């Protein structure tokens, strides 16, 4: 029987040679590369471009701005050996070092930020990966589960639901959007040791260094503006054997990013990586620098003053409309007592005198009466911005910071425009405003706000 077993299960000689070779050779060969530019990089041979990432002249652009839910990843084509001997020694990890230069440039500096991730993944398309704040990498699972996906996030937005510490931080993500550890972006000055913060989201080129120390389960990350020498002390150090739960034998290595409505260009300018011990040095002298072209997006001081007045005027108009309706209702009851709940929560009503005083001080005249005349110029300006798809540019920073999302800012401004519609018949009534603010979609209310539509409407009205 022995020979029968042997016959049936003993592999054929060519296969034997293969198995023998596989056990002798390292599971994958050493990786050591340097891209000072991506100008001649082609898909599948030099990099793997997934979804919306593209080679754009000399850099890799991860996102396509015309798609609101765009995401993109780029990987090195060859997998990196992370667990050299998975069957006999699954928790002995190997080491590598990498360094890269990236640029994050939003269209609107106060819009919600996203950032990008450096990633180790068993798959070029991790299952269930979603866009928006999930970097096009993670699922929205609230419970962390073991899977070979490990990322270093360079996060330029604060998402409090996942406990982000601020809107400019780096963190270690173990198969989950919620970082296991994170610190504010900055570097330790090599001379005096002090921590120097800097903004990763102004288009300036940022250099990052990551050391993955497998035997010690340790990841060191440093970031600094290009031009600063490699800091001696890393910005972030994470040391935990739990890392072994989030790696596989061989892993793709690369970058991932995603967005929603707000445009934020994410670019990789240069990249080097080595698992042989010596990282080749990136030459940063000729790297491109990205900034926004000067256009209507840069606002003069006059325009900014206009924004403040405009916002107060719009909110005033809405408030005044509400006040009039409320007063009409109150007249029926003939009582103007302040109820207890109002004192407890929020002054939900204003006297006419209060309102007039505030608006007069801010605008220097009686805006309610003159809204149809001089102040309409301001409205036209906001309407022009709206026509150009940039209505949020009209919002003062203080207003933006008080609103939870830019969608809210946009809604308020659109509402303001609707309330100033040249055709009074098309202005929303209070009931419509309230239901809109409570979240029920009333898109028909918010149409005809563009300069062209408004002009048509004015002509028709005249
Ligand atoms: C690059 O190659 C990958 C893998 O074959 C493919 O899925 C992707 O669509 C390609 N991307 C581009 C931009 O050609
Ligand atoms: C971005 O997406 C749009 C449509 O979604 C497409 O027409 C365009 O070619 C894409 N741009 C790039 C650079 O791939
Ligand atoms: C990693 O991917 C390979 C296929 O590329 C698959 O065979 C293997 O099971 C995956 N490992 C894990 C731990 O998911
Ligand atoms: C995750 O996304 C799915 C599909 O988009 C959705 O049905 C589910 O409610 C989301 N879960 C959480 C916790 O947000
Ligand atoms: C340390 O050096 C940095 C930049 O080189 C400088 O900005 C900072 O003020 C210095 N701090 C101290 C305490 O000298
Ligand atoms: C990581 O940083 C720590 C100090 O925070 C240092 O002791 C250690 O040697 C560093 N590891 C590597 C691989 O550079
Ligand atoms: C970096 O590149 C510049 C021009 O591209 C070149 O003049 C310089 O010698 C390079 N530096 C190094 C260290 O290779
Ligand atoms: C853009 O504007 C800035 C300041 O407003 C100015 O210094 C710079 O020269 C302008 N750049 C171009 C390309 O016009």
Residues 250 and 386 in one domain: no
The H-or-E segment that residue 330 falls in is: helix 301-333
- Residue 260 carries which DSSP code? S
Does 9 fall in a domain? no
- The CATH number assigned to the domain holding 141 equals 2.60.120.200
Model pLDDT for residues 179-216, shown as the tens digit of each residue: 999 999 999 999 999 999 999 999 999 999 999 999 99
Give the total residue count for the chain.
462
Residues 203 and 328 in one domain: no
Cα 97–Cα 99–Cα 103 angle in degrees, nearest 5: 155
Which of 65, 66, 266 to mutate to test ligand 2, by most ligand atoms within 8 A of the CB atom? 66
Distance 252 CA to ligand 3 centre (A): 11
pLDDT at 387: 74
Locate 311 and state its tokens.
């916002």
Residues 218 and 110 in one domain: yes
Of the three residues 256, 274, 292, the one that is the final residue of a domain is 274
Report which of 202, 221, 224 is spatially closest to residue 211, judged by C-alpha positions.
221
Residues 180 and 219 in one domain: yes
Does 353 fall in a domain? yes
Does 90 fall in a domain? yes
- Residue 297 carries which DSSP code? T
CB-ligand 1 contact for 43 (6 Å cutoff): yes
Locate 6 and state its tokens.
């042997």
Report which of 207, 159, 203, 162 is spatially closest to residue 185, judged by C-alpha positions.
207
Of the three residues 224, 256, 274, the one that is the final residue of a domain is 274
Report which of 168, 150, 307, 319 is spatially closest to residue 235, judged by C-alpha positions.
168
Residues 311 and 354 in one domain: yes
pLDDT at 279: 96
- State how far the Cα of 145 lies from the Cα of 176, in Å rounded to an integer: 8
Domain span at 173: 29-274
Does 286 fall in a domain? no
Report the mean per-residue pLDDT for the chain: 80
List, chain by chain if needed, residues with CB within 6 Å of any ligand 3 atom.
Answer: 122, 148, 248
- State how far the Cα of 435 lies from the Cα of 160, in Å rounded to an integer: 27
Q: Above 90 in pLDDT, residue 318?
A: no
Does 175 fall in a domain? yes
Q: Record the pTM.
A: 0.68
Does 338 fall in a domain? no
Can you tell me the mean pLDDT for 355-359?
A: 44
Phi, psi (degrees; rounded to nearest 5) at 104: -120, 115
Is 226 within 8 Å of 204 (Cβ atoms)? yes
Residues 202 and 324 in one domain: no
CB-ligand 7 contact for 285 (6 Å cutoff): yes
pLDDT at 414: 76
Model pLDDT for residues 259-314, shown as the tens digit of each residue: 999 999 999 999 999 999 899 999 999 999 999 986 554 455 555 555 656 656 77
Locate 50 and state its tokens.
């997934």
pLDDT at 368: 43
Phi, psi (degrees; rounded to nearest 5) at 49: -95, 120
Residues 361 and 412 in one domain: yes
Residues 268 and 361 in one domain: no
Tally the C-alpha atoms within 13 A of residue 357's C-alpha that lie toward its C-beta. Answer: 5
Q: Which residues share a beta bridge with 172?
A: 152, 181
Residues 262 and 323 in one domain: no
List, chain by chain if needed, residues with CB within 6 Å of any ligand 5 atom.
Answer: 189, 192, 194, 196
Residues 254 and 317 in one domain: no
Does 7 fall in a domain? no
- State how far the Cα of 378 lies from the Cα of 316, in Å rounded to an integer: 14
CB-ligand 1 contact for 64 (6 Å cutoff): no
Report which of 293, 298, 269 is spatially closest to residue 283, judged by C-alpha positions.
269
Residues 149 and 185 in one domain: yes
The count of structural domains within the chain is 2
Does 342 fall in a domain? no
CA 362 to chain centre: 35
Residues 224 and 310 in one domain: no
């Amino acid at each position: 029987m022995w020979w029968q077993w042997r016959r049936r299960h003993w592999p054929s000689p060519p296969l034997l040679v293969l198995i023998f070779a596989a056990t002798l050779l390292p599971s994958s060969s050493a990786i050591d590369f340097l891209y000072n530019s991506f100008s001649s990089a082609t898909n599948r041979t030099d990099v793997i471009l997934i979804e919306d990432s593209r080679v754009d002249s000399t850099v890799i652009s991860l996102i396509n701005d015309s798609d609101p839910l765009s995401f993109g990843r780029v990987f090195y084509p060859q997998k990196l050996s992370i667990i050299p001997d998975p069957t006999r020694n699954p928790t002995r990890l190997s080491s590598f070092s990498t360094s890269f230069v990236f640029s994050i440039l939003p269209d609107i500096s106060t819009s919600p930020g996203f950032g990008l991730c450096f990633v180790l993944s068993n798959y070029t398309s991790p299952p269930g990966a979603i866009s928006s704040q999930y970097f096009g990498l993670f699922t929205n699972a609230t419970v962390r589960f073991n899977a070979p996906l490990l990322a270093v996030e360079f996060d330029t937005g604060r998402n409090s639901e996942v406990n982000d510490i601020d809107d400019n931080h780096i963190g270690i993500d173990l198969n989950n959007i919620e970082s296991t550890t994170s610190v504010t972006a900055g570097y330790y000055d090599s001379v005096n040791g002090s921590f120097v913060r800097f903004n990763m989201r102004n288009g300036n080129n940022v250099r990052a260094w990551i050391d993955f120390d497998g035997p010690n389960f340790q990841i060191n990350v440093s970031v600094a503006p290009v031009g600063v020498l490699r800091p001696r002390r890393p910005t972030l150090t994470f040391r935990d054997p739990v890392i072994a739960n989030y790696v596989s034998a061989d892993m793709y290595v690369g970058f991932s990013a995603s967005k929603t409505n707000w445009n934020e260009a994410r670019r990789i300018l240069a990249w080097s990586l080595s698992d042989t011990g010596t990282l080749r040095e990136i030459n940063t002298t000729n790297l491109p620098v990205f900034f926004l072209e000067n256009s209507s997006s840069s606002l003069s001081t006059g325009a900014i003053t206009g924004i403040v007045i405009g916002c107060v005027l719009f909110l005033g108009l809405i408030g005044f409309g509400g006040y009039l309706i409320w007063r009409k209702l109150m007249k029926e009851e003939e009582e103007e007592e302040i109820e207890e709940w109002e004192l407890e929560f929020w002054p939900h009503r204003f006297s006419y005198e209060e309102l007039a005083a505030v608006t007069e001080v801010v605008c220097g005249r009686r805006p309610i009466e003159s809204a149809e005349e001089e102040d309409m110029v301001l409205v036209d300006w906001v309407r022009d911005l709206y026509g150009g798809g940039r209505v949020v540019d009209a919002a003062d920073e203080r207003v933006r910071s008080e609103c939870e999302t830019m969608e809210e800012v946009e809604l308020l401004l659109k509402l303001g425009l609707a309330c100033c519609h040249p055709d009074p018949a098309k202005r929303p009534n209070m009931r419509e405003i309230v239901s809109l603010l409570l979240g029920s979609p009333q898109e028909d209310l918010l149409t005809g706000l563009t300069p062209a539509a408004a002009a048509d409407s004015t002509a028709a009205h005249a």
